[in-house]
A and B are shown apart, each in its own frame.
Chain A
Amino acid sequence: MSYRLNGNSVDRRTFLKGSAAAGGALLGAQVLGAPAVLAADGMTLRYLGTAVNQSADIAKKCKEDTGITIEYIPVTTDEVAKRIITQPNSFDMVDSEYFSLPNLIPSGNLVGMDAKKIKYADKLATVLTKGMVDGKMVGMQGTAPAKVFYLEGEHSAKFAKEQTEWITLIPTTYNADTLGMRPDLIGHEVKHWKALLDPEFKGRTALINVPSIGIMDAAMAIESAGLMTYGDKGNQTKAEIDFTIDTLIKAKKAGQFRAFWTDFNESVNLMASGEVVLQSMWSPAVTAVRSKGIKCAYPGLAEGYRGWASGFGIPKTTRGKKIDAAYEFVNWFLSGWAGAFLNRQGYYSAVPETAEEFMKPYEWDFWMEGKPAAQDIHAPDGTLIEKAGAMRDGGSYAARMGHVACWNSVMEQNEYMVRKWNQFIAA
Chain B
Amino acid sequence: MGSKSNKTPYWQAAPMAAVFTLFFAVPLAVIVIVSFWQYNQYSITPAFIFSNYTDIFSGCIRQLPDLCTTFATYLQTLIFCAEVWALTLVIGFALAYFLVFEVRTPTMQVVLALICTIPFWTSNVIRMISWIPLLGRNGLINQGLLALGVTDHPVEWLLYSHFSVLLAFVHLNTVFMIIPILNSMARIDRSLIEAARDGGASGWQTLWNVLIPLSKPGIAIGSIFVITVVMGDYITIGIMGGQQIASVGKVIQVQTNFLQFPLAAANAVVLLATVLVLILGLTRLVDIRKEL
Least Cβ distance of B91 to chain A in Å? 28
| Structural contact, B258 and A418, CB atoms closer than 8 A | yes
Is chain A's interface secondary structure helix, strand, loop, or mixed overall?
A: helix
Task: Give residues of chain B (236-292) contacting chain A, Cβ–Cβ below 8 Å.
Answer: 238, 242-246, 250-251, 254-260
With contacts A203-B156, A274-B137, A275-B137 taken as known, whether A107 is within 8 angstroms of B244 at the C-beta atoms is: no
Task: Give residues of chain A (101-121) contacting chain B, Cβ–Cβ below 8 Å.
Answer: 102-104, 106-107
Of B244, B246, B255, the residue contacting A259 (CB under 8 A) is B244
Contacts of B69 in A (CB 8 A): 419, 422-423, 426
Q: What separation, in Å, do the CA atoms of A419 and B238 have in the docked complex?
A: 18
Of B136, B246, B255, B260, the residue contacting A275 (CB under 8 A) is B136
| Structural contact, A275 and B76, CB atoms closer than 8 A | no
| Structural contact, B244 and A257, CB atoms closer than 8 A | yes
Q: What separation, in Å, do the CA atoms of A111 and B52 have in the docked complex?
A: 32
B72 interfacial contact with A, CB 8 Å: yes
Contacts of B256 in A (CB 8 A): 82
The contact sample of 20 A-B pairs, CB cut-off 8 A, is A78-B258, A81-B259, A103-B41, A104-B42, A257-B242, A258-B242, A259-B243, A260-B244, A262-B238, A273-B136, A274-B138, A410-B41, A418-B255, A419-B55, A419-B69, A423-B69, A425-B243, A425-B246, A426-B73, A426-B246
Q: What separation, in Å, do the CA atoms of A269 and B137 have in the docked complex?
A: 12
Least Cβ distance of A408 to chain B in Å? 14
With contacts A107-B42, A422-B251 taken as known, whether A273 is within 8 angstroms of B137 at the C-beta atoms is: yes
Contacts of B170 in A (CB 8 A): none
Least Cβ distance of B58 to chain A in Å? 9
Q: What separation, in Å, do the CA atoms of A96 and B152 have in the docked complex?
A: 48
Contacts of A285 in B (CB 8 A): none
Max chain B Cβ within 10 angstroms of own Cβ: one of A85, A203, A206, A425: A425
B132 interfacial contact with A, CB 8 Å: yes
Q: What separation, in Å, do the CA atoms of A347 and B138 have in the docked complex?
A: 32
| Structural contact, B132 and A273, CB atoms closer than 8 A | yes
Closest B residue to A262 by beta carbon equals: B243
| Structural contact, A418 and B254, CB atoms closer than 8 A | yes
A358 interfacial contact with B, CB 8 Å: no
Q: What separation, in Å, do the CA atoms of A206 and B43 have in the docked complex?
A: 33
B93 interfacial contact with A, CB 8 Å: no
| B-contact 0/1 string along A193-215, CB 8 Å cutoff | 00000000001001001010000
Contacts of A427 in B (CB 8 A): 72
Contacts of A259 in B (CB 8 A): 160, 242-244
A397 interfacial contact with B, CB 8 Å: no
With contacts A103-B259, A252-B244, A410-B41 taken as known, whether A426 is within 8 angstroms of B72 at the C-beta atoms is: yes
| Structural contact, B243 and A209, CB atoms closer than 8 A | yes
Q: What is the total of A-B residue contacts with beta carbons within 8 Å?
A: 84
Contacts of A203 in B (CB 8 A): 156
B172 interfacial contact with A, CB 8 Å: no
B181 interfacial contact with A, CB 8 Å: no
Q: What separation, in Å, do the CA atoms of A81 and B257 have in the docked complex?
A: 8
Q: What separation, in Å, do the CA atoms of A410 and B238 have in the docked complex?
A: 24
| Structural contact, A418 and B41, CB atoms closer than 8 A | no
Q: What separation, in Å, do the CA atoms of A201 and B245 have in the docked complex?
A: 20
Contacts of A261 in B (CB 8 A): 243
Q: What separation, in Å, do the CA atoms of A292 and B110 have in the docked complex?
A: 44
| B-contact 0/1 string along A203-229, CB 8 Å cutoff | 100100101000000000000000000
Least Cβ distance of A265 to chain B in Å? 10
B34 interfacial contact with A, CB 8 Å: no
| Structural contact, B137 and A107, CB atoms closer than 8 A | no
Closest A residue to B251 by beta carbon equals: A422
Q: What separation, in Å, do the CA atoms of A257 and B132 have in the docked complex?
A: 17
Q: What separation, in Å, do the CA atoms of A425 and B249 have in the docked complex?
A: 12
| Structural contact, B76 and A426, CB atoms closer than 8 A | yes
Contacts of B246 in A (CB 8 A): 422, 425-426
B159 interfacial contact with A, CB 8 Å: yes
| Structural contact, B254 and A102, CB atoms closer than 8 A | no
Closest B residue to A77 by beta carbon equals: B257
Least Cβ distance of B110 to chain A in Å? 38
Task: Give residues of chain B (102-161) contacting chain A, Cβ–Cβ below 8 Å.
Answer: 132-133, 136-138, 156, 159-160
Least Cβ distance of B69 to chain A in Å? 4
Contacts of A426 in B (CB 8 A): 69, 72-73, 76, 246, 251
Q: What separation, in Å, do the CA atoms of A104 and B42 have in the docked complex?
A: 7
Contacts of B55 in A (CB 8 A): 419
Least Cβ distance of B74 to chain A in Å? 10
A415 interfacial contact with B, CB 8 Å: yes
| Structural contact, A82 and B257, CB atoms closer than 8 A | yes
Q: What separation, in Å, do the CA atoms of A206 and B137 have in the docked complex?
A: 14
Q: What separation, in Å, do the CA atoms of A145 and B159 have in the docked complex?
A: 40
With contacts A106-B42, A211-B254, A425-B250 taken as known, whether A418 is within 8 angstroms of B260 at the C-beta atoms is: yes
With A259-B244, A410-B41, A425-B246 given, name 8 new contacts (CB 8 A): A79-B257, A106-B42, A209-B243, A260-B242, A273-B136, A415-B260, A418-B254, A418-B258
Q: What separation, in Å, do the CA atoms of A391 and B260 have in the docked complex?
A: 44
Top 10 A-B pairs, shortest CB-CB distance:
A259-B242, A426-B246, A78-B257, A260-B243, A107-B42, A423-B69, A103-B41, A209-B243, A426-B73, A426-B69
A54 interfacial contact with B, CB 8 Å: no
Task: Give residues of chain B (199-227) contacting chain A, Cβ–Cβ below 8 Å.
Answer: none
Contacts of B238 in A (CB 8 A): 262
A407 interfacial contact with B, CB 8 Å: no
Least Cβ distance of A295 to chain B in Å? 15
Contacts of A206 in B (CB 8 A): 242
Of B136, B244, B259, the residue contacting A425 (CB under 8 A) is B244
Closest A residue to B73 by beta carbon equals: A426
Closest B residue to A415 by beta carbon equals: B260
